[in-house]
Amino acid sequence: MTAFTVEYRANILDKKYTMRAKEYYDFQHNKVRMDILRNGIRQGVLFDYEDNTYILYSYLDTQETDYVCQIQQLDQVKSDNFDIFGFSKGTGSSSIPHVLSSQDILQFASDQDQEYKGETTLDGLNVTHWQSCISWQDVKATFTLDYYFTTQGLKTLGESTPEQIPVRAEVKGVKGEQGDRTTFHHIYEYMSVRAFDRLPAETFSLPDFMVCAGQSDRWTHDLPSLPESMSYILERVSGGPKINKGQVGIDVVSVFTDAKRKLVRTDHMETISISDFNTGVQYIIDQNGCYPGPISPLNVVSASEENGLVKMKDRPEVGYLKGQFRFTGPKLFREISALGFAGKAPDRGEVLQAYVTSNDRKLLGVVVKNNLSKLETYYNIFNFVDTAYPSHDDRDPFDIRRCIDSNKITEFDITVKYESSYEGDIKDWSAEIIAGLRDYTARTVGCSVLQISKKDYHINANEQEFQWSGFFLGSIPNLSRAKVENQLPVKTYEEFVSTLFQSIQNGRFVEKISIGEGGYFVSVVGKNLKTKGADYQPVGVRETPLSKFSNFNGFCVKTFSNVQKKLVLNSAYECAKNCLASQWMGCNVFQYSKSTKECTMSMHESLPALARTPGCDFYILKYLSHFERFPGQVLLEQNDALFKQASTAEVCARQCLQEDSYKCESFDFCDEEDRCQLSTNHYYDKDSNPSFTGEQVVSCTHYSRKSLDDFTSVRSTDLTLPGLTEVEAESLQECAYLCQNDCAMFSSCLVDQRLVCKFVQASAVGNVKYEYDLRCSVHNAPDAKSKISKAKNSTKTSGKTARSNSSKSYSGGAMAGLGIAMVLTGAGVGVVTILLLRYFKIWNGF
């Protein structure tokens, strides 16, 4: 047999200890391994005769948290284990030893005299008994070897395993020089012998997470470096050795990284995040619009913070590969043949095991284990590609045109004269040429490449001219940015055109672009620049969901008494989105852990006791952010009024949002009252009757639900369609409230200090045309389900033209304020006011 595994129990009688061992032997691979268990401590020895390597390791405790390990060259080591596995010299002039044959290992040696002792029984099993007298001169040992084999006809495991296999070996003898002799007596009980044609390569490797001292020249590999540009799918699986199946956390994100251009994109669920580390801007894009803002240092995939600057993680850090890694041998990872590498992160108390494919050295994944908690997190890598840019099409994964107002997008054409060292058609290298022109244009203007989007190209081979068409994306007003190293400004269209035009006119637009891998290049000289307005396609921009919450950085709740649900999410932004989506079911607060990416949502209605927790942030909903405020006004509604105890307007807003007996559209709150009045009527409803309480008395304020939050807004845009209904309104919120039922979108224009809104029904959206107009904005509800449902089916008309003037009664405290206001303004009767005050028990006389 050319390969086998055998388990045995060794009773070392002369030293008074026992141990269990398992040997792995492969003559074809020329490797041997032995695992030993003694007093609960695991040890191992690896003989790699093929790569001239000897590895000896031993754990120092039963938990296997600490160990010693040494790698050496086999031909420079002398070990007692050689007596078992052999140290025969290699063929030819090679001095590298070779493992002995299986005959020499498990059976009696052919060059020794053997004596058949007959048949006997061991543990009820019929066996044959053989005895040899053996002398090992190199260790000056002489001993008798008694071998016991199964008799013929025994059914063994595996087709390759012979019928007669060893059952027991007993060794008795003496060792040493005359006058310094010692006796030894060992008994080896073989419990499982299995034969194979050859053993898997991963059999002869170190345990995972083990970093050994020393080295061997031929048993080594370097962990491959990650490319500058790459894309992959990252699956994060967190769990532990004793974790329940339902507690395993799984998260999947697609990653596109361009280290040269300092760009990172992540796709998580339905959300895209593009981080530009040139400018410090992060663009978060989902189906409802785009949310530009500062790059968050909490983005564990791409960002870190150092000395007050947000930095793009370097490539090893992105792949969790920062630090020194040592080769641990061939491995099988996700049933894929791989090479293993182990590393340590002592600052985090973690050990790491990385895997790359055996053939093309592509990253397969990294496993991170916490030494204290034993928690293991698997970062599985799928579809790893050595570029962030797909080869099957010309789409740019970092295209942010959706985030820019269309009137700030300008199409341009740059024509260059070229010379090439490549004798073929340079069209073969058009993608490389456009990338080079884009990079050079960005450097010339002094802006990020994200502000320059590629479109098309045209080659005039006769004139040796290359024309590149692209889009310049203008700046976003009042854009908040993170501080980054060597920060670039966000350029305006005027700056882009003037700088680029001067560069071309003055003959400074000159660049040498490398193409292919044969040292070819294309030299270009700018000839002219043309610009024109881009095709108009309006794109919506909305506020970030985090603006709806108050934030307590570095503080969290240790335990929630009423957790609604826990999720593993990529950012606090996504956590806020989930909380808002669940708000009507009770999500009022959430906290987000940056290290575990765990989002915990709760129904907690007030600010709980917070504890300082580094790496964790607490958020509480701003309930008033859902309401439009009308100071000094109240709604005189009595029929459907519902009174609630409330110490603040914030509490009252929460009660209105959480009211489930009917649809609460508004509420009134007076500062010195302990309650508020909820109503089904809205300020902009045609039947509402707002009244002023005056400014010299107790302050009362009316709050009505905002409707504009449900719309995506496009600035500097108007829509045209014959027969649209136009309404003059008080505010955008009124227009948004009136756009319901079949209304899908509306425009708002400020004309001669008047706000005029035009409404489009859902059936007519396909016929709408857009035009550029600085005075206007278009507001679109992309999903009718996202709009706040109204309990009324009647067509709404502007409150300014259709509100009723009939008088209606109101609650006690606010009516007292209203009565005093009437007296102070001369419009009321004093005695009526006093009667009202007494009736509502606010005034008991002088």
Note the pLDDT tens digit of each residue in 480-499.
899 999 999 999 888 888 88
pLDDT at 129 exceeding the cut of 60: yes
Structural domain 229-385, CATH architecture: Clam (2.50)
pLDDT tens, 245-304? Answer: 556 678 899 999 999 999 999 998 889 999 999 999 999 998 878 899 999 887 767 788
Q: Per CATH, is 625-706+807-839 categorized as 3.40.50.720?
A: no
pLDDT tens, 686-701? Answer: 777 677 655 444 578 8
CATH topology of domain 545-621: Hepatocyte Growth Factor (3.50.4)
Model confidence at 120, pLDDT cuts 50, 70, 90, reads very high
Q: Per CATH, is 3-214 categorized as 3.40.50.300?
A: no
CA angle 452, 458, 459 (to 5 degrees): 125
How do 213-214 and 67-73 pair as beta strands?
parallel
pTM of the model as a whole: 0.60
Same fold, 3-214 and 708-787: no
pLDDT confidence of residue 1? 67
Q: 768 versus 70: which is more confidently predicted?
A: 70
Q: What is the mean pLDDT of residues 431-437?
A: 91
pLDDT confidence of residue 715? 67
Q: What is the mean pLDDT of residues 552-579?
A: 83
- Rounded mean pLDDT of the chain? 79
pLDDT tens, 40-53? Answer: 999 999 989 888 99
pLDDT tens, 87-108? Answer: 444 444 333 343 434 344 444 4
Helices (H), 8-163: 82-85, 102-106
Q: What are the DSSP calls for 27-69, one per residue?
A: TTTTEEEEEEEETTEEEEEEEETTTTEEEEEEESSTT---EEE
For the domain covering 708-787, report its CATH number. Answer: 3.50.4.10
pLDDT confidence of residue 808? 32
pLDDT tens, 357-405? Answer: 998 899 999 999 888 877 888 999 999 999 998 776 677 899 999 898 8
d(CA 164, CA 150): 5
d(CA 684, CA 802): 10
Domain extents in the chain = 3-214, 229-385, 545-621, 625-706+807-839, 708-787
pLDDT at 845 exceeding the cut of 50: no
pLDDT at 835 exceeding the cut of 80: no
Residues 6+ apart with CB under 8 A from 531: 410, 411, 412, 413, 472, 497
pLDDT confidence of residue 287? 80
pLDDT confidence of residue 263? 95
Model confidence at 438, pLDDT cuts 50, 70, 90, reads very high
pLDDT at 109 exceeding the cut of 60: no
d(CA 542, CA 547): 11
C-alpha closest to that of 414 among 526, 497, 533: 526
pLDDT at 77 exceeding the cut of 50: yes
C-alpha closest to that of 41 among 24, 55, 58, 22: 58
Q: 529 versus 827: which is more confidently predicted?
A: 529
